[in-house]
């Protein structure tokens, strides 16, 4: 049995018929073809699959696609505009905030929500907000520096 699902991903309406057990992360990658969201642990431990759902950073392995019918989703592919990296993406480039890159999409999406909430976060706030995202390569130092760089280069909120 398949069920219809419709949502907006990165500003584009998408709809498919899916198995009720299909995880959102697999829907995004396989049905929609956006492979920037990574499958890490499938148990919500690593954060590699973090996306924004209706403005909230969530781990997409925690949801079935049918549970989020009607949602507004943003993935890592939705951040860059007109070929220009988003300041968070640019910060990871400028401050060498990645090594293997596997955790990077989830880190960036978590940082996006963090900077929406805390436009000028302290190092302690950044580290606390990233606790749900695991990196096995960097030791987090350059990830923190990348987010600090992004905070300094983000447009001011009106």
pLDDT tens-place values along the chain, 158 residues long: 999 999 999 999 999 999 999 999 999 999 999 999 999 987 889 999 999 999 999 999 999 999 999 999 999 999 999 999 999 999 999 999 999 999 999 999 999 999 999 999 999 999 999 999 999 888 899 999 999 999 999 987 76
- Architecture of domain 87-153 in CATH? Orthogonal Bundle (1.10)
Query: What's the confidence (pLDDT) of residue 150?
Result: 98
Query: What's the confidence (pLDDT) of residue 138?
Result: 82
pTM: 0.94
Query: What's the confidence (pLDDT) of residue 123?
Result: 97
- Architecture of domain 3-78 in CATH? Roll (3.10)
Give the span between the Cα atoms of 17 and 88, in whole angstroms: 34
Query: What's the confidence (pLDDT) of residue 43?
Result: 85
Q: Where are the alpha helices (DSSP H) in the chain?
A: 24-26, 87-94, 104-117, 123-129, 141-153
Give the span between the Cα atoms of 20 and 94, in whole angstroms: 42
Q: Please, where in the chain does CATH 3.10.20.30 lie?
A: 3-78
The answer to whether 76 and 37 are in contact (CB under 8 A) is: yes
């Amino acid at each position: 049995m398949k069920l219809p699902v419709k949502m907006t991903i990165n500003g584009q309406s998408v709809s498919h018929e899916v198995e009720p057990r299909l995880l959102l992360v697999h829907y995004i990658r396989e049905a929609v073809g956006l492979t920037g969201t990574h499958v890490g642990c499938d148990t919500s431990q690593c954060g590699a699959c973090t996306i924004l759902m209706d403005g909230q950073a969530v781990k997409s392995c925690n949801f079935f696609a049918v549970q989020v019918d009607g949602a507004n989703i943003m993935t890592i592919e939705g951040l860059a505009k007109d070929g220009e990296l988003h300041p968070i993406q640019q910060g990871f480039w400028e401050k060498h905030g990645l090594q293997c890159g596997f955790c990077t999409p989830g880190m960036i999406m978590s940082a996006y929500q963090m900077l929406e909430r805390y436009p000028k976060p302290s190092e302690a706030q950044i580290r606390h907000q990233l606790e749900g995202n695991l990196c096995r390569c960097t030791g987090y130092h350059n990830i923190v520096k990348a987010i600090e760089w992004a905070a300094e280069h983000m447009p001011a909120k009106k």
